[in-house]
Structure 1
């Protein structure tokens, strides 16, 4: 029976420095005529300081490795042709003072942005005109409009970002998550071209 191995590399994988990556860590594997567990346990590489924070594993490395060990195996790669391994260092806990300073800075910045926007579009004047159009009287502070508007502004931001602290409101991704996904995809594409040692050697 002919030995066949079907490999689908994962787009990205997170690991720690000095970890040994096995095939099961970076790929999905299906085999014919050979034990799948035996293939998935194969060590692919060991992460070292030389790799710094990123290591790109090309599909050709996997094919060479399998053909070196099993000379009569037919290897077929399906899907992505590289796996980007992000090497994570030990995370340090944020200092409470630093956390509070960043939180305060963001809070003040966001508040100023909202206030400047309302000043630019003269939101208070709009509320005054709406109150005057409805009641026939002109007042400087139509609170019955301003208070619900302020509450609605906060609720609208919660719905927009689709999160209350760490809890998701619904399964739909927020615009921020979509933008972060697009950024990660573009970053992975750039890294796969510029950090891939196999491509550099060919160049």
Structure 2
């Protein structure tokens, strides 16, 4: 047990271009000896190359081989995921104010047109007039008593649905959009793990 080392690969790690990925960055390490942990954390696993673009996969076998190169007497126990996704984060270009305003206007106008077209398709104004006449017994062309609360409720409902007011989260529960984005990211990660990991692919004529 004294020579047993437990290694748990992290799911995703962000590094800068040209960085050297160490075992301490790519995985969590547990061992009885604190000095051994510090030594293992500094083991280099991979240097980011320009040809790697933005994704590199480090397999657990690569981690085990790196540990054995340092000390072959260790009993390495791997737990958790079998790969670590290394995401190379490049410096982002600053978005100009003009571009931000243009995109904001496009989204605003597009969203407004979509909502108006939907209400026109379902004849929402006629429905409001009919409901107002049923409740009050009076026929009016613009039942503002229904339309104003409906408009406010539409906006408040969207805020509650997406669980955000600008950057502020209303509660800790994820919104449906965040859940869908999470599922999408999980699918992307699985695809990347299968197609970017060279160790998991073996050509037919490979001995």
Q: TM-score range by the shorter chain?
A: over 0.9
* Cα shift at 1:53: 1.1
**Normalising by structure 1, what TM-score?**
0.96
Distance across 1 between alignment mates of 2:200 and 2:177: 33
Partner residue, 2:193: 192
Distance across 2 between alignment mates of 1:8 and 1:195: 20
Partner residue, 1:108: 109
Partner residue, 2:83: 82
Distance across 2 between alignment mates of 1:56 and 1:184: 16
**2:5–2:30 CA contact under 8 A, matched in 1:** yes
Partner residue, 2:3: 3
Distance across 1 between alignment mates of 2:40 and 2:32: 11
Partner residue, 1:64: 65
* Cα shift at 1:40: 1.4
Runs of 4+ in structure 1 off by over 2 angstroms are: 200-203
Partner residue, 1:19: 19
**2:64–2:76 CA contact under 8 A, matched in 1:** yes
* Cα shift at 1:200: 2.4
* Cα shift at 1:201: 4.3
Distance across 2 between alignment mates of 1:202 and 1:8: 29
* Cα shift at 1:123: 0.9
- Matched pairs, number: 203
Once the two structures are overlaid, the 10-residue window that deviates more, 23-32 or 89-98, is 23-32
Alpha-carbon deviations, 1:143-176, whole Å to 9, x = none?
Answer: 0100010011001111111111111110001111
Alpha-carbon deviations, 1:83-126, whole Å to 9, x = none?
Answer: 11111111111011111111111111111111111111111111
Distance across 1 between alignment mates of 2:203 and 2:161: 47
**Normalising by structure 2, what TM-score?**
0.94
* RMSD (CA atoms): 1.4
Distance across 1 between alignment mates of 2:164 and 2:143: 31
SS in 1 for 2:201: helix
* Cα shift at 1:32: 3.3
1:122 equivalent to 2:123? Answer: yes
Partner residue, 1:177: 178
